[in-house]
């Protein structure tokens, strides 16, 4: 439970706002950080902390692409395919990336659970398309070769982490 593990942090979040409800986005971030995604239970937990109905937590989680109501891979690729980026080749880049990772043309998660790819709307880096964020860090002016290099690097990091965890 968030409230048991993060009591101080939750108090500090509430202290920033005039009412509990206004803290919902911060608490959704906290829940996603803790659980990896926003399950039905975690949305209920956040709603209870904010004294609101769970449907309100659902509506916020569903509106913003920074929240995920589905489990996702260790590395979450959100590729902007909005119009200005599409004019700079983002659609083709997205298709190539999905094909390279073998997740199907609409995106999804790789079989090893390492990568989730999904399209998102404008991330405010339109002049640097094709661009994406990976776990909220921007990668810009991408092409298939640069993203392959990134995927290789992340695979190597994940393998190292797994090795360290098993030692």
Residues that bind ligand FES (CB under 6 A): 80, 82, 84-85, 122-126, 129, 131
Q: C-beta of 54: minimal distance to ligand FES in Å?
A: 32
Task: Evaluate whether 23 touches 17 at the Cβ level (below 8 Å).
Answer: yes
Between 73 and 130, CB nearer to ligand FES? 130
- The least distance separating ligand FES from the CB of residue 153, rounded to whole angstroms, comes to 23
CA end-to-end span of the chain, whole Å? 29
Q: Two tokens at 146?
A: 């640069």
Query: Smallest gap, in angstroms, from Cβ of residue 79 to ligand FES?
Result: 9
Cβ 133 to ligand FES shortest distance, Å? 10
Cis amide prior to 102 (ω within 30 degrees): no
In the complex with ligand FES, the residue whose CB is nearer, 7 or 122, is 122
Nearer to ligand FES, 36 or 89 (CB): 89
Could you say which DSSP state residue 1 is in?
Answer: -
Min CB(85)–ligand FES separation in Å: 3
Element (H, E) at 29: helix 24-35
Nearer to ligand FES, 137 or 163 (CB): 137
CB 67 within 8 A of CB 36: no
Residue 108 phi, psi (nearest 5):
145, -160
* 31 or 123: CB nearest ligand FES: 123
Q: Are 137 and 76 in contact (CB under 8 A)?
A: no
């Amino acid at each position: 439970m968030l409230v048991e593990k993060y009591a101080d942090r939750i108090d500090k979040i509430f202290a920033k706002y005039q009412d509990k409800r206004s803290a919902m986005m911060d608490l959704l971030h906290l829940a996603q950080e803790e659980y990896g995604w926003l399950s039905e239970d975690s949305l209920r937990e956040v709603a209870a902390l904010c004294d609101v109905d769970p449907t309100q937590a659902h509506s916020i989680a569903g509106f913003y692409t920074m929240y995920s109501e589905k489990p996702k891979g260790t590395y979450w690729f959100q590729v902007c395919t909005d119009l200005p980026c599409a004019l700079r080749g983002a659609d083709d880049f997205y298709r190539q990336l999905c094909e390279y990772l073998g997740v199907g043309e609409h995106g999804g998660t790789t079989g090893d659970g390492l990568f989730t790819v999904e399209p998102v709307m404008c991330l405010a880096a339109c002049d640097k398309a094709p661009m994406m964020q990976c776990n909220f860090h921007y990668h810009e002016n991408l092409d298939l070769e640069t993203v392959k290099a990134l995927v290789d690097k992340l695979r190597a990091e994940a393998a190292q982490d797994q090795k360290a965890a098993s030692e």
